[in-house]
């Protein structure tokens, strides 16, 4: 695992994140409990950002009770300095790592735990995720002329990763996310998503993990179905996700009406938004799209 490399510990040693999800890395429920508990720690590694601001990214604690294992704590995404107390005596070893590598390590550790069903009593999902080759081919054809080669891509609301396959075929290695942990889990088990870039998270919280305009392009496939009732929610999802794009956003929808609603919303927050038709014989997926280019 990336966390072993980062902490420079043996691959056979157990290493876990204290928290169970990215959302919990914002509120730190378990970390707060651990810090209050006066846990007996055998060894300690401080993870510090390489270059840049040399921020502390996290602290790995080696525990022997109830089992010999490393527990990684991070307050990097919480807006707090919850870990300060642990480092006061200066007894820690220090490892340096790029901030983004650290996030990949965190995301991978959570994805592996999810995929191993560590967070579930029993798996309610019996069948593998839907995979429609014609849809993927159609999306690949549609995206090919739009996406500049070498772009850094974020795919929001990726579901089980069907659309992600089109991005991969075009040579991209997108960061992906969805609110639904079962969708991400199925996609990981099926090999549709990469564990170091597959996140379970409400898209509206992505800005806690990535700075504005971090990606060249943000995409979302079959966002919606958008109606009058859920539109305020989707508006927030799409407007906040778009803030992470430097150059372009692409959102596909089922109907022209949905694409036009999204275009109007993005047009009002500084995007040149164009609606494009993308009909095919299936008539189900990605029939319309909103193409947004950042103005200024
Ligand atoms: C219609 S599905 C499309 C899935 C996938 N993009 C595809 O085309 O196959 C919409 C997805 O949006 C996800 N979603 C809904 N609200 C979300 C939110 N606030 N943050 C992240 N994902 C969300 C759902 O869990 C669902 O997987």
The answer, yes or no, to whether residue 35 has pLDDT greater than 90, is no
158 and 50 housed in the same domain = no
Q: How far apart are CA 227 and CA 234, in angstroms?
A: 9
Neighbouring C-beta atoms of residue 27, cutoff 10 Å: 14
Q: Which of 142, 159, 163 to mutate to test the pocket of ligand 1 (most atoms within 8 A of CB)?
A: 159
Chain segment 43-60, per-residue pLDDT in tens: 899 999 998 777 899 999
Q: What CATH number is associated with residue 288?
A: 3.40.50.150
212 and 72 housed in the same domain = no
Q: In this structure, which residue's CA is closest to atom 27 in ligand 1?
A: 159
70 and 193 housed in the same domain = no
Q: Which residues surround ligand 1 with Cβ inside 6 Å? A: 157-159, 162-163, 178-180, 183, 202-204, 221-222, 237
Instruction: Quote the domain boundaries for residue 222.
Output: 133-294
pLDDT for res 270: 93
Print burial letters for 46-65: b (CB count within 10 Å at least 16), e (below 16). bbbbeeeeeebbbbbbbbee
Kindly give the distance from the C-alpha atom of residue 178 to the centroid of ligand 1, in angstroms, as a whole number. Answer: 6
Chain segment 81-113, per-residue pLDDT in tens: 888 877 655 567 999 999 999 999 999 999 999
- Give whole-number Cα distances, 91 to 18, 69, 208, 217, 271, in Å: 21, 19, 30, 43, 50
Q: Which of 165, 177, 179, 236 to mutate to test the pocket of ligand 1 (most atoms within 8 A of CB)?
A: 179
264 and 224 housed in the same domain = yes
**Within-domain flag for 124:** no
Q: In this structure, which residue's CA is closest to atom 16 in ligand 1?
A: 179
**Within-domain flag for 11:** yes
Kindly give the distance from the C-alpha atom of residue 119 to the centroid of ligand 1, in angstroms, as a whole number. Answer: 21
Average confidence score pLDDT of the chain: 94
Kindly give the distance from the C-alpha atom of residue 203 to the centroid of ligand 1, in angstroms, as a whole number. Answer: 9
158 and 283 housed in the same domain = yes
Task: For residue 283, give every residue at least 6 positions away whose Cβ sits within 8 Å of its Cβ, in sequence order, or none.
Answer: none
Neighbouring C-beta atoms of residue 99, cutoff 10 Å: 16
pTM, two decimals, is: 0.96
Task: For residue 88, give every residue at least 6 positions away whose Cβ sits within 8 Å of its Cβ, in sequence order, or none.
Answer: none
58 and 151 housed in the same domain = no
278 and 169 housed in the same domain = yes
195 and 93 housed in the same domain = no
**Within-domain flag for 50:** yes
For residues 128 and 139, the model is more confident at 139
The answer, yes or no, to whether residue 65 has pLDDT greater than 70, is yes
Chain segment 232-289, per-residue pLDDT in tens: 999 999 999 999 999 999 999 999 999 999 999 999 999 999 999 999 999 999 999 9
Q: In this structure, which residue's CA is closest to atom 13 in ligand 1?
A: 157
Contact predicate 177/198, CB 8 Å: yes
103 and 137 housed in the same domain = no
241 and 185 housed in the same domain = yes
Contact predicate 251/275, CB 8 Å: no
Contact predicate 252/278, CB 8 Å: yes
Chain segment 144-197, per-residue pLDDT in tens: 999 999 999 999 999 999 999 999 999 999 999 999 999 999 999 999 999 999
């Amino acid at each position: 695992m990336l966390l072993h490399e980062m902490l420079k510990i043996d691959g056979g040693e157990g290493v876990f994140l204290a928290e169970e999800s990215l959302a919990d890395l914002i509120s730190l429920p378990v970390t707060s409990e651990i810090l209050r508990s006066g846990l007996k720690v055998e060894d300690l590694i401080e993870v510090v950002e390489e270059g840049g601001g040399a921020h502390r990214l996290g602290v790995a604690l080696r525990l022997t009770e109830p089992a010999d294992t490393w527990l990684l704590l991070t307050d990097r995404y919480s807006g707090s300095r919850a870990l300060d107390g642990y480092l006061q005596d200066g007894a820690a070893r220090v490892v340096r790592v790029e901030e983004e590598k650290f996030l990949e390590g965190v995301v991978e550790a959570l994805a592996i735990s999810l995929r191993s069903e560590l967070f579930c009593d029993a798996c309610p999902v019996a069948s593998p995720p839907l995979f429609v080759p014609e849809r993927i081919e159609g999306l690949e054809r549609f995206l090919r002329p739009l996406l500049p080669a070498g772009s850094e891509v974020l795919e929001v609301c990726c579901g089980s990763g069907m659309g992600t396959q089109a991005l991969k075929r075009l040579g991209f290695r997108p960061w992906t996310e969805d609110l639904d942990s079962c969708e991400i889990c199925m996609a990981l088990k099926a090999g549709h998503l990469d564990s170091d870039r597959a996140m379970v998270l409400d898209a509206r919280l992505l800005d806690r993990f990535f700075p504005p305009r971090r990606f060249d392009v943000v995409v979302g496939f079959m966002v919606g179905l958008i109606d009058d009732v859920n539109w305020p929610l989707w508006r927030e999802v799409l407007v906040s996700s778009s803030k992470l794009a430097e150059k372009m956003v692409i959102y596909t929808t089922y109907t022209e009406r949905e694409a036009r609603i999204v275009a109007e919303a993005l047009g009002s927050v500084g995007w040149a938004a164009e609606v494009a038709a993308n009909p095919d014989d299936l008539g189900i997926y990605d029939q319309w799209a909103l193409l947004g280019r950042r103005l200024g």
